[in-house]
Structure 1
Amino acid sequence: MARLVQFDQFGGPEVLTLREVEAIAPQAGEVRIRVDAIGLNRAEIMFREGSYFDHPTFPSTLGYEAAGVVDAVGEGVDGLTEGDPVAVVPAFLQSRYGTYGDHVVVPAAAVVPRPADVDPVSAAAVWMAYVTAYGPLAESGHVQPGDHVLLTAASSSVGQAAIQIALRIGAIPIATTRTADKKQRLLDAGAAHVIVTDDEDLPARVKEITGGEGVRLAFDPVAGPGVETIALAVAPGGHLVVYGTLDRRTTPLPNAASYPALSTSTYTLFEITLNPERLRRAVAFVNSGLATGAFTPVVDRTFDLTEIAEAHRYMEASGHVGKIVVTVDHEAAR
């Protein structure tokens, strides 16, 4: 038997139920993982609410990230054996697979080796955040040493990873937060500058920090009408990359007559995780940063699997800095 978080209808955290179900055997191209830790993401809130691009078939599980050990291997899977410490990368649809459970089946293509010195909680906090930030900051070539980058909603796990990746490149991270409550924590996390958007004029502060030039890259998960303000902080020839939809209102395209010449685009980590060669490069980049200590996943708080609804409530409250991780106590479940 296995324990699996499922929900039967759209709604708030209360729809999540931890159930005992029959353990599923992995099919061809799949592996089963004995889960020790699960990383939570905003995408799972949206999936649970019915506002995500992917829609469940009920009863549905959910979840993109986990860390543990390989428990069983399906036919045709090479390079993974029972007992291997691994982590799960978001490289599948939640309508087909999920990681919220103590034994879960996922595609082998979404499983990466976990370095021996990376514990399960840290490993569960890595891949969504660091691969999301890796694409626009490191792989695209948009950011060079000495460039300023603007990271909005920087207290998120992706924002924290983006600060570390920018520093590793030699860029200068400018973080934003809505209120002053998180300012010092962002400075402690490595941000060179923090702009409190409720109190400060974002474009004016960016121009002041950059000597009037603006940033080479703005990396934004919020979207909505606020992108027009962010665009005013981008240097001519720079890039504005929107990677989320926290503000679910329409996102306008900045008017060419009112803004500097800049490139605007959307981005999701699936552009990398569903491409084997790009994923290979991303894994090498992130693992090298973990090995040298340049990358240290920021974990705000952990919950037990039995507290999954409370963990979602905590994430919805948006008071955290970094990742929320759910741990699995296998001994207590016996």
Structure 2
Amino acid sequence: MLTDQKMKAVYFNVGGSTEILYFGDIALSDHYNEGQVLVRIKAIGINPIDCKIRTHPERFPVTYPVIPGCDGAGIVEAVGAQVDNFKPGDEVYFSQPAFNNRQGTYAEYVKVDASLLALKPRSLSFEQAAAVPLVFITAWEALHDRAHIAQDHIVLIHAGAGGVGHAAIQLAKLAGAHVIATVSTEAKANFVKRLGADLVINYRSQDVIAEVLRWTNDNGVDIVFDTVGPEILQSCFRCVKPYGDVVTILQSAPDTDWSEARKRNVRFSLELMLTPILLELEDAKRHQGEILRQCAGLFDAHKLQVEIARTFTLRDAAAAQNFLEQNHPIGKLVLIVDS
């Protein structure tokens, strides 16, 4: 595998605003193992976690200089001695955070654990494929692995037009569920309707709890998927039926009132797709690679789609992160690598 090479990358040496992000030459780390694959990156998906790691790197197991980014799509350049399921020239996609002596994807090259890789959907461009991994893995794990979604379930998905939300709507519909999605604008409402949402609630002009109970005849939904955080989580317990599921991708606030959840005997789950790398769980990493393989088949069968809001060049990563934090766009932002 290539070592002691220079590559273009975005990196930082201290946490803070996007002003701490640098673009330039940096060494391609020679730290790798025989189960890794060297990927030449063609495109990079941007996610809110990238901004959180930049702002508070001390909360994560990173090594300086930090090359941020989890999602990537590109071409295999070389494989470790123990890798027999990928070869140079394969087009792949994956999600791997820059934890535990790994680097992130805001770079021309990255070494990736082979267990996390999947062949890129043939029907998607590199830009489209790079927008998929983190959000579709998150939605898949939340709905299938945590909440055990089933035919005719009613699912409430908060922030349905976002990256995770738009993935969750599609996966829920494929599972045969009925979907309620919350949005903030008419444009986002039209978008989630195109994805198959059965009921769309504009949370800025409508009472979400009242609309959910009206649509479900006061029964509540089987599953609530919270992609927003503490200010929304509290309301989820009023929307779910007794013995239902609430899944969140964010940490609850210290003052969360759990009494309604307790009364309804709600099953509460946390979803963090970073766990396999954080805790070095090989089976969990392979599971995420398998999710991407299944999603590739669904994309190629035209049963899934991914929405790209805007693309930027790698050198404009700071502008891209600013755009994400300030605009909350429909779909995903993607960095394009010219290499």
TM more than 0.5: yes
Amino acid at match of 1:266: L
- Structure 1, unaligned runs of 5 or more: none
CA distance in 1, matches of 2:186, 2:223: 23
Is the alpha carbon distance of 1:152 and 1:47 closer, same or farther for their aligned partners in structure 2, counting shifts above 3 Å? same
Is the alpha carbon distance of 1:82 and 1:205 closer, same or farther for their aligned partners in structure 2, counting shifts above 3 Å? same
Give the alignment's Cα RMSD to 1 decimal.
2.3
Structure 2 residue aligned with 1:43, among 39, 42, 49?
49
Matched, 1:217 2:226: no
CA distance in 1, matches of 2:229, 2:297: 31
Report how far residue 34 of structure 1 moved: 0.9
- Structure 2, unaligned runs of 5 or more: 1-5
> Conserved in 2, the CA contact under 8 Å of 1:148 and 1:215?
yes
Report how far residue 287 of structure 1 moved: 2.2
Matched, 1:77 2:83: yes
Q: Deviation string for 1:206-250 (max 9, x for gaps)?
A: 0111222111100112221432212101011110011125xx843
> Conserved in 1, the CA contact under 8 Å of 2:15 and 2:57?
no
Report how far residue 190 of structure 1 moved: 2.3
CA distance in 2, matches of 1:33, 1:306: 19
Structure 2 residue aligned with 1:7, among 5, 12, 17?
12
Is the alpha carbon distance of 1:251 and 1:138 closer, same or farther for their aligned partners in structure 2, counting shifts above 3 Å? farther
Is the alpha carbon distance of 1:155 and 1:94 closer, same or farther for their aligned partners in structure 2, counting shifts above 3 Å? farther
Is the alpha carbon distance of 1:50 and 1:39 closer, same or farther for their aligned partners in structure 2, counting shifts above 3 Å? same
Following superposition, which runs of at least 4 residues in structure 1 exceed 6 angstroms of deviation?
none
Is the alpha carbon distance of 1:203 and 1:258 closer, same or farther for their aligned partners in structure 2, counting shifts above 3 Å? farther
Which 10-residue stretch deviates more, 254-263 or 119-128? 254-263
Matched, 1:155 2:161: yes
Amino acid at match of 1:65: D
Query: Alignment identity in percent?
Result: 28
> Conserved in 2, the CA contact under 8 Å of 1:64 and 1:94?
no
Report how far residue 281 of structure 1 moved: 4.3
More relative contact order, 1 or 2 (CA 8 Å, 6+ apart): 2
Report how far residue 200 of structure 1 moved: 1.4
Structure 2 residue aligned with 1:21, among 26, 47, 57?
26
Is the alpha carbon distance of 1:56 and 1:283 closer, same or farther for their aligned partners in structure 2, counting shifts above 3 Å? closer
Is the alpha carbon distance of 1:178 and 1:168 closer, same or farther for their aligned partners in structure 2, counting shifts above 3 Å? same
Query: Which residue of structure 1 aligns with residue 244 of structure 2?
Result: 238
Structure 2 SS opposite 1:232: helix
Matched, 1:301 2:301: no
- Equivalent pairs, count: 328
Amino acid at match of 1:321: I
CA distance in 2, matches of 1:149, 1:40: 26
TM-score, normalised with respect to structure 2: 0.88
Report how far residue 289 of structure 1 moved: 1.4
Amino acid at match of 2:175: I
CA distance in 1, matches of 2:160, 2:100: 25
